[in-house]
Chains A and B, each alone.
Chain A
Amino acid sequence: MNARSIEQPIGSLGGNTLNWIASLGRFGLFLGQAVAWIFIPPFKGRQLLQRVHFIGVRSLSIIVLTGAFTGMVLALQTFLTLERFGSEALLGPAVALALIREMGPVLSALMVTGRTGSALTAEIGIMRITEQIDAIQVMGLNPMRYLIVPSIVAGFITFPFLTAIFDVVGIFGGYLVGVELLGLSSGTYFGEMQTFVSMDDIWNGFWKSLSFGVIVTWICTYKGFYTGHGTEGVARATTEAVVICAILILVWDYFLGSVLP
């Protein structure tokens, strides 16, 4: 084995590590710049409303649909388990806690990533490759202020709402299965829920959804903003954005789950 054959893989490993660290730095810098621009007037109210509509309103149908079926399947599976221990009365709190603390924030974030996050990356990516971002820049304007800041703020605003809708619809989906199909009484389903679900649980889900809102819009706008060349570059950026978001949502969920009460 000569020296070159040893050097090459080591060099390549070093190069990849450096690239990875540099890329992390760019990610961080991008978010830092976006956060700084949030507080610098003039504020782009119209763009913000458009983004709230783009991320929030357009994701409503998918959130309602997945929320309902998540609640239903959760109720069905939990009921079958609780039945073995004679604790069917705890179905309501079990469904509510699972939705409010975990499944609501995580699944709604994953759904919005697939539905809107990918579209956000593709839209900004196409603006990049068709020189629209360059056009904003050479007009002496800041593309960060026009494209990125409204998206991140909109994510911050809409994700908690979407999660709340997911939770409520999911709880009613669980009601449909537990009460209407499996014969549990309505009073038991909701009554026990009030006993077992505390404000801490709701805050837990709220903080998660808030942070997922920032993570998803941050990653998706970054990937679009620094997309590669041509349509292939946009396609790759979109895939990467969705994959990174999905991984970060799950990792961050675990982290917050262990830190929050």
Chain B
Amino acid sequence: MIRVENLHKAFGRQHVLKDFNLEITKGELVVVIGQSGIGKSVFIKHLMTLLRPDNGRILVDGADIGVLRGRALDQYREKLGVVFQGGALFDSLSVFENVAFPLRERTKLPRAEIAERVQEKLDQVGLREMGHKYPAEISGGMRKRVSIARALVAQPEIVLLDEPTTGLDPILCTTIHHLILDLHQKFQFTGVMVSHEIPDIFQIANRVAMLHDGGIVEIGSPEAIQSSTNEVVRQFIRGEIEGPIKPT
């Protein structure tokens, strides 16, 4: 489904991604872990086509998304559901309107059906009664859930989650992770999530990939990653100060 081949991205002299390779099969949820500032968001922004590779390519269903333009690019983006780090909800729209936005703008569905679908999604994320509120009037956890509802409302094939639990307390983090797990099991979308929420992500990921020094140093099942002998992986998941990873 998604194949990243020798992805390279630099900002000035800083080479963030170097020979980054990753393959994600249809319907699986891969979580990319790694230090803060190591390039996880840069990677996922390539999948969102907000950044373009300096070198290498990203193939989605065989099409190189790095060279898409115009209508072809819009068609690829219509396959996506994106949960941004900060939620990225539209301040001027209510919760209901935020979730309805992709349907209203991209489809010709009748109003009643849009309302039904939006209500269904709000139910699934536990915000049934919150449709009339504005993003500024709800808590951080609720905003994340609205963001998830908005990402899923158009039934996307691929869901990209950029640190969806940043800034939330541990209980809310677990709630959001369980929500993602439930929704993934229910809708079977192909998911890519970047996070450093250890150990929560081991419960929701099909596979975990460790990003370090511009590339994936190890990828495997949550169990394989937890019992990894790779020093970088071990240090990161145990949160140790001593080791090959230096604090950034």
- The chain A residues found within 8 Å of chain B, CB to CB, are 50, 126-127, 130-132, 134-135, 137-141
Contacts and interface: CB of A to CB of B under 8 A. Distances in A.
B91 A139 contact: no
Contacts of B82: 135, 138-139
B75 A131 contact: no
Nearest to A133: B88
Contacts of A130: 86, 88
B85 A131 contact: yes
Contacts of A134: 48, 50, 84, 88
Given A132-B90, A132-B91, A134-B50, A140 B77 contact: yes
B84 A131 contact: yes
Contact of B86 (A50, A131, A139, A140): A131
B88 A132 contact: yes
Q: Which one of A50, A127, A134, A140 has the highest number of Cβ atoms from chain B below 10 Å of its Cβ?
A: A140
B77 A137 contact: yes
Contacts of A127: 90-91
A140 B74 contact: yes
Interface string B79-94: 0101011101111100
B105 interface: yes
B6 interface: no
B123 to A, nearest CB: 22
Contacts of A138: 48-50, 77, 80, 82
A86 B67 CA distance: 75
A141 B90 contact: no
A58 to B, nearest CB: 14
A127 B75 CA distance: 24
Interface of B: 48-50, 73-78, 80, 82, 84-86, 88-92, 101-102, 105-106
B90 A139 contact: no
A141 B106 contact: yes
Q: Which one of A126, A134, A139 has the highest number of Cβ atoms from chain B below 10 Å of its Cβ?
A: A139
A137 B76 CA distance: 12
B77 A131 contact: no
Given A132-B91, A134-B50, A140 B84 contact: no
B55 to A, nearest CB: 23
A35 to B, nearest CB: 19
Given A130-B86, A131-B84, A132-B91, A139 B105 contact: yes
B61 to A, nearest CB: 16
A53 to B, nearest CB: 12
A131 B101 contact: no
24 contacts: A126-B91, A127-B90, A130-B88, A132-B90, A134-B48, A134-B84, A135-B82, A135-B84, A135-B88, A135-B90, A137-B50, A138-B49, A138-B77, A138-B82, A139-B80, A139-B82, A139-B101, A139-B102, A139-B105, A139-B106, A140-B74, A140-B75, A140-B80, A140-B106
A140 B77 CA distance: 5
A126 B92 CA distance: 12
B88 A131 contact: yes
B230 to A, nearest CB: 33
Nearest to A139: B102
Contacts of A50: 92
Contacts of A126: 91
A137 B75 CA distance: 12
Q: Which one of B74, B75, B88 has the highest number of Cβ atoms from chain A below 10 Å of its Cβ?
A: B88
Contacts of A140: 73-78, 80, 106
A258 B246 CA distance: 65
B116 to A, nearest CB: 20
Contacts of A135: 82, 84, 88, 90
B77 A139 contact: yes
A194 B189 CA distance: 72
Nearest to A141: B105
Contacts of B50: 134, 137-138
A137 B49 CA distance: 9
Contacts of B73: 140
A134 B74 CA distance: 13
